[in-house]
Amino acid sequence: MPFHFKRLAIPEVILIEPKIFKDERGSFMETYKYSDFAPMGIKEHFVQDNYSKSLKVVLRGLHFQKNPNAQGKLIQCIKGKIFDVAVDIRKGSPTYRQWVSIELSEENNLILYVPAAFAHGFVVLSESADVIYKCTKEYSPEDDRGIVWNDPETNIHWPVKDPLLSEKDKNHPLLKDADNNFEYPSISPLIKGGSKGV
């Protein structure tokens, strides 16, 4: 098994630790394998890969695409370090408005799975950060939406007080005003059995 899986406080959000193989030449790791991810409930097919490069204190988010083009994402930081956040925006969910966070970095090689119907964002903690992410739907401008990063209703504890944002991200609405068509449950039920790995 080249991966360890851990469900976070919102159990639909999954932290993935790939196994790294090292020798005198360098290192190698798998970052995605359907046959290992599917038993954990990550059964979607990924159809678009994205790459972003961001400077220190840049905050990207909080982003989502509404139905019918809601995106699940696999996020990994391949250079630098980021504080990565997922917010449950499914109306009626027992964890609605709640968020989970994790530091992703080139040192820990961790991967975060953020399901569709969650908002996602990150802030850069290092001098710069390169982030790659796989998406279950292609980018759809007409369905592209967001919520403002400092919404008091979500009350995310960002480690940066004065982030650098795009004009678009500065002007996202509050969650209560967002164009959000997600209802709970809106993703596949969890497979029983909890975390997988050692």
Which residues are known to be catalytic?
63, 133
Instruction: Of 13, 114, 14, give the one whose Cα is nearest residue 65.
Output: 114
For residues 85 and 96, give the distance between their C-alpha atoms in angstroms, rounded to a whole number: 14
* Contact residues for 177 (Cβ-Cβ < 8 A; gap 6+): none
Radius of gyration of the chain (CA): 16
Q: Report the Cα 188 to chain-centroid distance in Å.
A: 17
Helices and strands (H, E) in the chain, number of each type? 2, 13
Q: Which two tokens stand for residue 54?
A: 């961001």
Q: With CA atoms as reference, report the closest residue to 188 among 37, 56, 52.
A: 37
Question: Where in 56-175 does DSSP place strands (E)?
Answer: 59-65, 73-79, 81-88, 99-105, 111-114, 118-124, 128-135, 144-146
